[in-house]
Structure 1
Amino acid sequence: MKVFKIVLGVSLFVLISAFTLTKSEMSGYEIGDKATDFKLKNVDDKMVSLSDYKDVKGYIVIFTCNHCPYAVAYEDRIIALDKKYKKLGYPVLAINPNNPEVQEKDSFELMKVRAKEKGFTFPYLFDEGQKIYPQYGATKTPHVYVLQKTKEGNIVKYIGAIDDNHADEEAVKVKYVENAVDALLKNKEVSVKVTKAIGCSIKA
């Protein structure tokens, strides 16, 4: 009987452990975490990594997609972010985290079409196998991560929304990403580090 209880206890522990996520698996990166590099296919069929950018100060990593109306509403603002900050050392890298088997409008071939239609000035990468977005903890499209390049690695400095009004660019009062990058460029602390990302759920 005692042996049975021990075996049962061990079995329950293994079962619970198998379905228990670690802190990082549950929430992804937090402010101050070091983001690991990735290697993803761009719409030009070339592979892109953070390490390809030798002389940058950081990155604006944005999880976005083709079909989501929130993502579409932000496309011009994302292009504007890249044009403004790429020359200052913070380029945009956009990543499509969606599974095209679940949402066919987010296929790699249609990513190419969308990037050409909108004239994307930044890499538009496909998270094939959906391996990168869970590491970051992205849940929406769009969902932004501002990373600062340091000797210790690429440190997460801001997570969340691009600004405070997805519906109307002219009504925006707080530009979260711009404020974060501007602070980092001045070697200052980011005042608002985390906001709620507003958008479509990622299609896994």
Structure 2
Amino acid sequence: MARESDAEEVEYGDRAPAFELPGADGRTYDLEFFDDHDALLVVFMCNHCPYVQAKFDVMNAIAADYADVAVVGINSNDAEAYPEDALEKMIEYVDRGEIDITAYLRDETAAVARAYGAVCTPDPFLFENDDGVFRLAYHGRFDDAMNPDDEPAGEPGGDVRDAIDAVLAGEAPEETFVPSRGCSIKWP
């Protein structure tokens, strides 16, 4: 089922809600882990959703192209009901290189997704590092390819890339909210 994210729990300029989550690499991550980056792209995602799978290459490319941006995937889906989204499967996706981002984290209780106001996968939130405080600069779609088989009119991930470029240039991204579309988060 396709769902558009129109959640507004975290608003522009707000601090990123704190988290401490296990990663697919065996480490535990919190916001402070990413303090050495100029920006933090948090993407609520999972393994099984075709909308997310269509953006794997986009997320991997953004992580590769922007050394100053931490790209962090957070999987909040109910792994009992959706075994493909269990931590063990996340590890397999990372080990195979299908997901090659800064960190891929497991939000077992979905508390972090609720704190951010995420409702679908993928749901990207871009935060700028404001003297050690990550503040929301962009929330919306990756690009105008809203369905898994669609090709974007411009560069893949163009909306997020434009927002990243603005943040890295010390400018505010456009605040026009165009929601992401994807599978609904499967709440535990």
TM-score, reference length from structure 1: 0.81
Looking at secondary structure, tell me which structure has more helix per residue: 1
1:122 matched residue in structure 2: 102
What is aligned with 1:132? 112
Query: After alignment, is 184-193 or 155-164 more displaced?
Result: 184-193
- Name 2:16's counterpart in structure 1: 35
Q: Does 2:172 correspond to 1:197?
A: no
Distance of 2:44 and 2:18 partners within structure 1: 15
- The alignment's TM-score, normalised by the length of structure 2, stands at 0.87
CA distance in 2: counterparts of 1:162 and 1:134, whole angstroms: 20
* Structure 1 consecutive aligned stretches of length 4 or more whose deviation exceeds 4 Å: none
User: What CA distance in whole angstroms lies between the structure 2 residues aligned with 1:170 and 1:102?
Assistant: 32
Residue 96 (structure 1) aligned to one of 75, 82, 90: 75
Q: Tell me, what secondary structure is at the counterpart of 1:34? A: coil
Give 1:181 deviation, angstroms.
0.7
- Residue pair 2:166, 2:172 contacting (<8 A) in 1 also: yes
CA distance in 1, matches of 2:43, 2:99: 17
Q: Provide structure 1 residue ranges, at least 5 long, that are not aligned to the other structure.
A: 1-25
Q: Where is the strand percentage greater, Structure 1 or Structure 2?
A: 2
Q: Secondary structure at the match of 2:111?
A: coil
User: Larger relative contact order (C-alpha < 8 A, sep ≥ 6)?
Assistant: 2
Report the Cα offset of residue 170 of structure 1.
5.3
List alignment gaps of at least 5 residues for structure 2. Answer: 1-6
Residue type of the partner of 2:57? D
Residue 42 (structure 1) shift: 0.5
Identity across the alignment (%): 31
Question: Which amino acid in 2 is paired with 1:137?
Answer: G
User: Which entry has the higher C-alpha Rg, 1 or 2?
Assistant: 1
